[in-house]
Amino acid sequence: MGVAMNPPGPSEAKPVPTRRKGRLQLLLILLVTVGPMVLATFMYKLNFWVPEGRSYHGELIANGQSRADLGVQADEKRWQMLVTTPGECAADCQQLVYLARQIQIGLGRDASRASHALAGPGPQSAEYEARLSREYPRLQRYPLALDKYATMVEGKPGPHLWIVDPHGNLVLRYGTGGDGKDLLNDLRQLLKLSNIG
């Protein structure tokens, strides 16, 4: 005669491997917290999966160069759109001067946070000087040291428009024929992100 086996009661059940479950949870927590940092470090060091896109339209100047390195001595404590020309301000330079003023107007309530300026090696023609006094009364004027300027724009002669931060650092550079809307968007973005100037 066989003996009937009763199913085990709650006190007789096999213990759940809680130690193993705890280790798995700890491992998952470490992967979630440390994993992204490790991945980001490898992406940076090995330069993979790095996005090619950018949100600005000018040429980024990210090497610590200042307005003084450009050959312009100025003490402006606001953001500045600085037009530089190695000679007389001809039609393409005049377009950049006009663009700088229009962008400042386009800033609306943030217009007081920026200024516009022209730097050249000497005075402009009498006709253009009169026009600047009449149409651009707030345009700041600076002398330009051509020896320093030549090294900064090597291979890219002609006039340029620079965005300069309130500390005098060069941020972005634009050549002639740029889109004013792009430049305005770049400056708006800089003002939005900046708590200086």
Backbone dihedral angles phi then psi of residue 175, each to the nearest 5 degrees: -90, -170
84 within 8 A of 119, measured Cβ to Cβ: yes
Beta bridge partners, 128, equal none
pLDDT of residue 111: 93
Outline which parts of the chain fall under CATH 3.40.30.10: 59-193
Please name the residues in contact with 17: beta carbons below 8 A apart, sequence gap of 6 or more.
none
| DSSP-derived secondary structure letter, 5 | P
Question: Distance between CA atoms of 92 and 158, rounded to whole angstroms?
Answer: 9
Radius of gyration of the chain, Cα coordinates, nearest whole angstrom: 31
DSSP string, 76-90: --SEEEEEE-SSS--
Q: What CATH number does the domain located at 59-193 have?
A: 3.40.30.10
pLDDT averages per 10-residue partition of the chain, 197 residues: 56 63 85 84 71 67 88 93 94 95 93 95 92 94 93 85 94 86 90 81
Question: Distance between CA atoms of 117 and 110, rounded to whole angstroms?
Answer: 17
Q: How many residues does the chain have?
A: 197
